[in-house]
Structure 1
Amino acid sequence: MEKRIINPWQWQDERSYVQAVEVKQAAGTLYCSGQAAVHADGQSSTADMKTQLILAIQNLEKVISEAGYECKGIVRLNILTTSSEEFFTCFDVLQDWIAKHGIKQATTLFEVKTLFETLKVELEATVVK
């Protein structure tokens, strides 16, 4: 797989995303449903945003690895949250995870009125290898 990052500017670097990702000769593409803070027994978390974000990241990692892909192959990450303000109080958690895996992804953040049950954040990813 060949991946090319397109960044006409530098300001996005501090926000842990890129403007565009071109992928050529991918061996596969994985489209992940939104992963949220749902426990293995199917119960939605009632925890705070940071705790939910950590669990959502863990769930996304599990789906990606079960499919035989790696987090570093994430090229698109959509973030849905019920509160952008609350989400940005724990944005460092996401940034640390992105840095840990060397992820270079196009990202869009959506603030939505509600998510399922008590959920506050959901991560939807496209992964290539």
Structure 2
Amino acid sequence: MEKREINPWEWQFDRSYVQAVEVKNVESTLYVSGQAAIYPDGTSSNEDMKSQITLALNNLEQVITEAGYEAKNIARLTIYTTAPAEVWEHFSIFADWVAKNGVKAAVSMMEVVSLYETLKVEFEATAVK
């Protein structure tokens, strides 16, 4: 597999994403549904945004690993949130996770009216290898 980042500018590097990712010669693709702050027993978190981001990223990493991929295989990542200002307030958690895992993905964040129960954030990803 060949993965190439496309970045006509440099400002996005401080925000932990790239403008586009071209992928060639892919062996397989994994489409990961939205991963949120859901505990192993299926209950959803009603904790603060910081805790929800951490748990949701842990869940995302667990699903990707279970499928035989690594987080660095993520090419596309979408953040859905009911509270964008809170995500930005705790964005360093996401940025640290991205850096620790070598993720170079095209990332978008969208504000949504609601998520399941008390959830505030959800991460949806596409990984390739």
TM-score bracket, normalised by the shorter chain, equals over 0.9
**Residues 1:97 and 2:97 aligned together:** yes
Query: Quick one: which amino acid aligns to residue 101 of structure 1?
Result: N
* 5+ long unaligned stretches in structure 2: none
Residue 19 (structure 1) shift: 0.5
Query: Quick one: which amino acid aligns to residue 86 of structure 2?
Result: E
The separation in 2 between residues aligned to 1:3 and 1:58, in whole angstroms, is 24
Match in the other structure for 2:30: 30
The separation in 1 between residues aligned to 2:21 and 2:96, in whole angstroms, is 20
The separation in 2 between residues aligned to 1:86 and 1:95, in whole angstroms, is 14
**Mapping 1:67-82, distance limit 5 Å:** 67-82=67-82
What's the CA shift string for 1:22-63, capped at 9, x where partnerless?
A: 000111100000000000000000000000000000100110
Match in the other structure for 2:65: 65
Identity %: 60
Match in the other structure for 2:11: 11
**Residues 1:49 and 2:49 aligned together:** yes
The separation in 2 between residues aligned to 1:24 and 1:120, in whole angstroms, is 34
The separation in 2 between residues aligned to 1:50 and 1:26, in whole angstroms, is 34
TM-score (norm 1): 0.99
Query: Quick one: which amino acid aligns to residue 41 of structure 1?
Result: D
Count, aligned residues: 129
Secondary structure of the corresponding residue to residue 89 of structure 2: helix
* 5+ long unaligned stretches in structure 1: none
Query: Quick one: which amino acid aligns to residue 57 of structure 2?
Result: I
Runs of 4+ in 1 over 2 A off after TM superposition: none
RMSD over aligned CA atoms reads: 0.5
Secondary structure of the corresponding residue to residue 68 of structure 1: coil
Secondary structure of the corresponding residue to residue 88 of structure 2: helix
What's the CA shift string for 1:66-120, capped at 9, x where partnerless?
A: 0000000000000001111011111000000000011100011001111000000
